């Protein structure tokens, strides 16, 4: 494929619901600002890639739409139905004559040259780039006339390969480093992130928090399974497993009870306890 032939489709959730496992990762930084920064820095790098002719951002969030429009992207509404539906909708809007790239919106360290190299590696066939751990997908490319057929989600790398997409080999560390968890964010920071994310990291001295100190209230609790759902202060619901309750040393939880939440580097809840307990 020659340069400047690709249309990138980039879905972005409504910011309050986006990147839930990153909540509290940057102390004092509103979660929506972080989610928007990740998308904005991804879009900035995509727009700077010489292989990209245009970008379609699929979103129903007004702040994302404004930022995307200001960056020169075309914005289309999210049809609902999840991430793959958004990718399919964007590909349909691009049209059958477009070579389409489905790209996740959480690549703040992305280098335009690495994106261009990955697109050259497709050699005119449908291909995908797995994320750094290897199980997920950050990029799915389809040449003109071929369906995008996205299968993003858990195990998507295997699903895309099973669907006939070619696994693209290449180091491309900035392209493979998507950000779902605090550990991912720290890894991206080590590679060097774009200006929006870098500014937020600077506000907290580069400190990425791994979940300690978050608080919320108990929305549901099942004593038989020792699991339930917490309501965080920003209105987000966060499920916790039995092992998180067991680690607390508590005998029970009651609805509406104030609790402190601790998460690991992957964003998983590992302890639910009282704010007054060490």
Binding residues: 137, 153, 156
Backbone angles phi and psi of 94, in degrees to 5:
-60, -35
* CA–CA gap between residue 101 and residue 141 (Å, rounded): 4
Q: List, edge to edge, every strand of the sheet that includes 269-273.
A: 237-240, 227-232, 214-222, 258-263, 269-273
* CA–CA gap between residue 64 and residue 73 (Å, rounded): 11
DSSP assignment letter at 208: P
Per DSSP bridges, beta strands 214-222 and 227-232 are antiparallel
Answer whether 241's CB lies under 8 Å from 227's CB.
yes
Largest CA distance in the chain: 64
* CA–CA gap between residue 235 and residue 8 (Å, rounded): 32
58 beta partners: 11, 76
Residues making up the binding site for phosphoenolpyruvate? 137, 153, 156
């Amino acid at each position: 494929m020659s340069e400047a032939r690709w249309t990138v489709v980039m879905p972005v959730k409504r910011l309050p619901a986006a990147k839930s496992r990153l909540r509290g990762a940057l102390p004092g930084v509103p979660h929506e600002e972080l989610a928007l920064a990740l998308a904005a820095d991804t879009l900035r790098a995509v727009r700077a890639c010489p292989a990209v002719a245009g970008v379609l951002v699929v979103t129903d969030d007004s702040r994302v739409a404004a930022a995307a429009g200001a960056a020169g992207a075309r914005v289309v509404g999210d049809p609902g139905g999840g991430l793959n539906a958004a990718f399919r909708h964007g590909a349909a809007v691009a049209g059958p004559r477009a070579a389409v790239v489905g790209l996740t919106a959480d690549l703040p360290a992305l280098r335009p040259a690495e994106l261009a190299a990955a697109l050259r590696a497709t050699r005119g066939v449908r291909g995908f780039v797995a994320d750094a751990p290897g199980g997920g997908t950050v990029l799915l490319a389809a040449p003109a006339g071929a369906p995008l057929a996205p299968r993003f989600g858990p195990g998507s790398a295997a699903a895309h390969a099973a669907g006939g997409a070619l696994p693209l080999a290449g180091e491309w560390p900035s392209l493979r480093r998507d950000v779902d968890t605090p550990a991912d964010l720290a890894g991206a920071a080590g590679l060097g992130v774009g200006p929006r994310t870098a500014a937020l990291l600077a506000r907290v001295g580069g400190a990425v928090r791994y979940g300690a100190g978050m608080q919320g209230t108990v929305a549901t609790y099942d004593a038989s399974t020792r699991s339930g759902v917490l309501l965080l202060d920003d209105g987000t619901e966060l499920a916790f497993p039995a092992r998180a309750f067991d680690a607390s040393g508590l005998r029970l939880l009651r609805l509406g009870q104030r609790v402190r939440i601790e998460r690991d580097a992957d964003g998983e809840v590992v302890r639910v306890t009282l704010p007054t307990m060490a």
